[in-house]
Amino acid sequence: MLTLPPSVRVYIAAEPTDLRKSFDGLSALVSQRFGADPLCGHLFVFRNRRGDQVRVLFWDRTGYMIVAKKLARGRFHLACDLPKGATHVEVEAAELSLMLEGFDLSEAVRRKRWRPSVRKIAPSKQSLMDARGIAISRAT
């Protein structure tokens, strides 16, 4: 299982890619197809036409790194259907890990999880608050 910080995003190319490309070729594809900066530290995943090979490109502060996997039998399956005209799709690190392990997640159901909502505070009422939302008086 991959353990990535939540700030790292995973993007999978929607179209098959010529995996004979190396660092420069794949980073150029990231700029062209994804419209993203290849130096941002996110993971960019490319599959070949047959779907039995994957390359993951990322920048690790000192240079590009490519992780490759070729299956002896079977194909890599995406967890979701791609929208028409999409150049790439963003997935979670857990989905990428399961995809690399050979799981077909097309039939899987994602359960709802609680996520904290973003509070909107009127500018006139903005003040210092602690983590519980209790106003903190300023020392004068």
What is the predicted pLDDT for the residue at 25?
A: 93
- Domain containing 40 equals 1-133
Q: Does any domain span residue 47?
A: yes
Instruction: Count up the domains in the chain and report the number.
Output: 1
The residue among 109 and 70 whose pLDDT is bigger is 70
Q: Does any domain span residue 139?
A: no
Work out the average pLDDT over 90-115: 78
What is the predicted pLDDT for the residue at 79?
A: 67
Q: Does any domain span residue 92?
A: yes
Q: Does any domain span residue 52?
A: yes
Cα 138 to Cα 129: distance, rounded to the nearest angstrom: 10
